[in-house]
């Protein structure tokens, strides 16, 4: 069984799991890369459940027990690592790393883990949704608001009708009212998860509008309302989220859209050049 299928099994079963099984599921989803080194007792302790609960959870997901599930995850993680290009951490000869090196290493780790978390088919599906959409809207609060604006700006620059939801006199849900099924929402949702973003995602799903979730884990609240999830590691030495890996993802999405639809980009560049030339002409005439 592939690594991706194990994650999907857990995700598909999540809503129907008993409360204690959900705690085990959360631990598995958030610590997949550590499972090969965990005993059933370790998982039991970390998830605040009994050993029997961990075993029953594995059986409910479709394995004979914890040992078989751990072995499958271990084999698939090894393959994932072999298939990905991993960036090496910065080595520092000092016993205590300086802040710059420590922060850089944390962001490199975030990027490496994000490369493992994001499945290529999911990434391609997101680009498919963008190419097929009439209009693309992005949303998020806090640092997610800034990230949503960056993605909307990049998509607009390469010829897509894209805009970030405003957050002033209007709530996100009020802006969703105006959307059509042909439109697409890309929502950024990271801890602490914004209730407004989640409720707007729920409303969008009720309206039949596709939504892409960019978040940090499978158990994030917004996942229940998304068509595709892109999981990004955002661990930080500060109290907020790091956006290094998220920035890589945003750039990758925009770049893949360019590769898939070069004609659209060339047309956009031609229009931008025309606007720039016209503005320069007006400025020159005003000086003369």
Give residues with Cβ within 8 angstroms of 196, minimum separation 6.
141, 171, 172, 173
Cα dihedral: 157, 163, 169, 173 (round 10)? -160
b/e 15-36 (16+ beta carbons within 10 angstroms → b): eebeebbbbbbbbbbeebeebe
pLDDT band at 103 (very low <50, low <70, confident <90, very high): confident
Domains observed in the chain: 3-83 (1.10.10.10), 116-259 (3.40.50.10490)
pLDDT band at 47 (very low <50, low <70, confident <90, very high): very high
What pTM does this model have?
0.72
pLDDT in the model for residue 277: 67
- Give dist(CA 56, CA 271) in Å, integer: 60
> Cα 73 vs. chain centroid, distance in angstroms?
21
Q: What is the largest CA-CA distance in the chain?
A: 85
**Between 268 and 49, whose confidence is greater?**
49
pLDDT in the model for residue 120: 87
> 79-93, 97-111, 138-152, 268-282: which range is least confident on average?
79-93
- pLDDT, mean of residues 52-81: 86
- Give dist(CA 147, CA 26) in Å, integer: 26
Q: At residue 90, does pLDDT exceed 80?
A: no
> 89-93, 136-140, 175-179, 252-256: which range is least confident on average?
89-93
Tokens representing residue 78 in the block? 């090894």
Alpha carbon distances (Å) from 190 to 98, 153, 248, 282: 27, 20, 16, 45
Closest to 243 in 3D by CA, of 106, 86, 87: 106
pLDDT in the model for residue 213: 97
> 121-125, 222-226, 244-248, 274-278: which range is least confident on average?
274-278
Closest to 118 in 3D by CA, of 82, 84, 92: 84
Closest to 66 in 3D by CA, of 94, 42, 90, 93: 42
Dump pLDDT digits (tens) for 240-260: 888 899 999 999 999 999 999
Max mean pLDDT range (109-113, 140-144, 184-188): 184-188
Q: At residue 6, does pLDDT exceed 70?
A: yes
- Give dist(CA 136, CA 129) in Å, integer: 9
> Cα 55 vs. chain centroid, distance in angstroms?
30
- Give dist(CA 82, CA 120) in Å, integer: 15
pLDDT in the model for residue 92: 58
Q: At residue 177, does pLDDT exceed 70?
A: yes
pLDDT band at 123 (very low <50, low <70, confident <90, very high): very high
Dump pLDDT digits (tens) for 179-197: 999 999 999 999 889 999 9
Q: At residue 58, does pLDDT exceed 60?
A: yes
- pLDDT, mean of residues 96-111: 84
């Amino acid at each position: 069984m592939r690594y991706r299928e194990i994650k999907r099994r857990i995700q598909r079963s999540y809503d129907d799991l008993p409360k204690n099984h959900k705690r085990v599921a959360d631990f598995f989803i958030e610590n997949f890369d550590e499972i090969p080194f965990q005993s059933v007792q370790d998982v039991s302790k970390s998830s605040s459940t009994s050993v029997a609960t961990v075993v029953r959870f594995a059986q409910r997901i479709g394995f004979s027990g914890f040992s078989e599930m751990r072995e499958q995850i271990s084999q698939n993680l090894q393959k994932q690592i072999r298939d990905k290009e991993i960036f090496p951490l910065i080595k520092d000869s000092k016993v205590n790393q300086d802040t710059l090196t420590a922060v850089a290493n944390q962001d490199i780790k975030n990027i490496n883990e994000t490369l493992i978390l994001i499945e290529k088919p999911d990434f391609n599906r997101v680009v498919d949704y963008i190419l097929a959409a009439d209009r693309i809207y992005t949303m998020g609060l806090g640092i997610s608001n800034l990230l949503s604006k960056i993605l909307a700006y990049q998509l607009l620059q390469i010829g897509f009708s894209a805009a970030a939801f405003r957050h002033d006199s209007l709530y996100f849900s009020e802006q969703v009212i105006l959307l059509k099924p042909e439109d697409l929402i890309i929502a950024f949702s990271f801890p602490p998860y914004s209730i407004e973003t989640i409720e707007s995602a729920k409303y969008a799903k009720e309206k039949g509008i596709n939504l892409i979730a960019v978040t940090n884990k499978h158990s994030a609240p917004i996942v229940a309302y998304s068509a595709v999830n892109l999981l990004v590691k955002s661990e930080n030495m500060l109290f907020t989220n790091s956006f290094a890996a998220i920035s890589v993802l945003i750039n990758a999405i925009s770049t893949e859209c360019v590769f898939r639809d070069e004609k659209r980009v060339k047309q956009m560049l031609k229009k931008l050049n025309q606007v720039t030339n016209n503005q320069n002409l007006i400025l020159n005439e005003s000086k003369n």
